[in-house]
Chain A
Amino acid sequence: MSSPNSAYPDIPETETKPKRHEWPLWEVFIRGQHGMSHRHVGSLHAPDEEMAIKNARDVYTRRNEGVSIWVVEARHIAASSPSEKGPLYEPSESKVYRHPTFFNIPEEVGAM
């Protein structure tokens, strides 16, 4: 992903950037009112976990969106890579029998 620098004098190249001393990035997960699991809602910067939760309250729950907040520093999250998409998910593609609609149940049997 390299391009001639001259085309974008305003945007720095990510590869050559020096490491900056900034508040770390936290990923925020919120559980809503109705018993669903925590769901990723976004990220924010904060110096520590206590401030991260306070900031998450202000940024992501201004309208009663949640009753519980999880924060985790973004660098602790391991993620699958898009290039593995094929090998990672292919095994489930051929197993249609995992879906209930694979089986024909006669109507007279009733709801199942």
Chain B
Amino acid sequence: MYAQMVKSEAADDSAEALAFQARIDAGEKIEPKDWMPAGYRKTLIRQIGQHAHSEIVGQLPEGNWITRAPTLERKAILLAKVQDEAGHGLYLYCAAETLGVSRDEMTEMLLDGRMKYSSIFNYPTLTWADMGAVGWLVDGAAIMNQVPLQRTSFGPYSRAMIRVCKEESFHQRQGYDIMMKMAQGTPEQKAMAQNALNRFWYPSLMMFGPSDKDSVHSAQSMAWKIKMNTNDELRQKFVDQTVPQAEYLGLTVPDETLTWNEEKGGYDFAEPDWDEFFEVIKGNGPCNTERLAARNKAWDDGKWVRDGLLAHAEKRNARKVAAE
């Protein structure tokens, strides 16, 4: 998902930790000033931080098309969507900051590679149809994960997810709207839409993280209610929801093994190439270098603005104090 393979530490069995787990089991929300195990705090910083970084880095593949949107209306819509992603990143950084880490610190950890962002944003957006595929599939997969996270145990994270989910369905709908237009357009446009689906299908399935049998960090995170469903559960749900939407578009999901399984009431489908996934996570995807370079450049180029505004504010404050 937006947070993939977040390492989770085992809880200790102190009386405090047991009482803490009992609160979570009773459905209580944990707030920043409450006692919490160090493992809970740090796992959450990792997860929320990775989620925030994904929103921020996720602006890059779509920002790539703002200047080349086919109409002024599409351009305004895409601009609003990308601005929302920046907002979502900020809500999430705020939630993480309540755990005692600062936004600038997290940014530095992203920029020097200590923290990760979702593997999906390391794939290129080659045509306008990719804007459709990203909204429909990538935001669709994100929603699958974020809707249950509204019920997560950590109060600030839960509240950030509620805000994000309110805004997210616009993102998926505008993507599907682009896909409909392309799929009903000229044969060339329909081919572009099919091509975008072909390239984004498996990377979207990877967003949910490795198969449950290889997912070593799930159990503790699920006990703490900072992960609400297993990776395979969400992936299955995503496929079941998306396949009929592809059929409506008259497009073909690039999976020859895809079949409806009456018994389980869901589709049987092919797993993505997990070797590719681990390579992308390690930094060897098609755009990892480009994405991190773009974030580093923005951070470095913005330094004089950050410093200048801070110096101005401090000078004004000093003058105010002197006048009092």
A interface residues, Cβ below 8 angstroms from B: 1-3, 7-8, 10-12, 14, 20-23, 25, 42-45, 47-48, 51, 58-59, 62-63, 79, 81-82
Contact = CB atoms under 8 A, between A and B. Distances in A.
A9 to B, nearest CB: 8
Nearest to A11: B42
A43 B42 contact: no
Contacts of A45: 103
Interface string B80-108: 10011001001100100100111111000
B100 A10 contact: no
A12 B101 contact: yes
Contacts of B101: 11-12, 14
Contacts of B317: 48
A58 B84 CA distance: 9
A22 B104 contact: yes
B298 interface: no
Contact of A10 (B9, B38, B115, B310): B115
B46 A11 contact: yes
Contact of B94 (A10, A44, A82): A44
Q: Which of A2, A25, A44, A47 has the most CB of B within 10 A?
A: A47
Contacts of B313: 47-48
B46 A51 contact: no
Contacts of A82: 31, 33-35
B87 A1 contact: no
A20 B46 CA distance: 20
A93 to B, nearest CB: 17
Contacts of B87: 58-59, 62
Nearest to B95: A42
Contacts of A3: 9, 38-39, 42
Interface residues of B, number: 41
B105 A23 contact: no
Contacts of B97: 25, 43
A79 B33 contact: yes
Nearest to B34: A82
Contacts, number: 75
B217 interface: no
A44 B104 CA distance: 12
A47 B39 contact: no
Contacts of A79: 33
Given A1-B41, A22-B102, A48-B316, A43 B31 contact: no
Interface in B13-42: 31, 33-39, 41-42
Given A3-B9, A7-B9, A48-B309, 11 more contacts: A1-B35, A1-B37, A3-B42, A8-B9, A10-B46, A11-B101, A22-B102, A42-B91, A43-B94, A47-B312, A79-B33
Interface string B287-310: 000000000000000000010011
Contacts of B42: 3, 7-8, 11
Given A10-B46, A62-B83, A62-B87, A47 B310 contact: yes
Contact of A23 (B36, B80, B160, B310): B310
A10 B9 CA distance: 13
18 contacts: A1-B35, A3-B42, A10-B46, A10-B115, A11-B46, A11-B101, A23-B309, A42-B91, A42-B163, A47-B312, A48-B313, A58-B83, A59-B87, A62-B84, A63-B167, A82-B31, A82-B33, A82-B35
Nearest to B40: A1
Contacts of A8: 9, 42
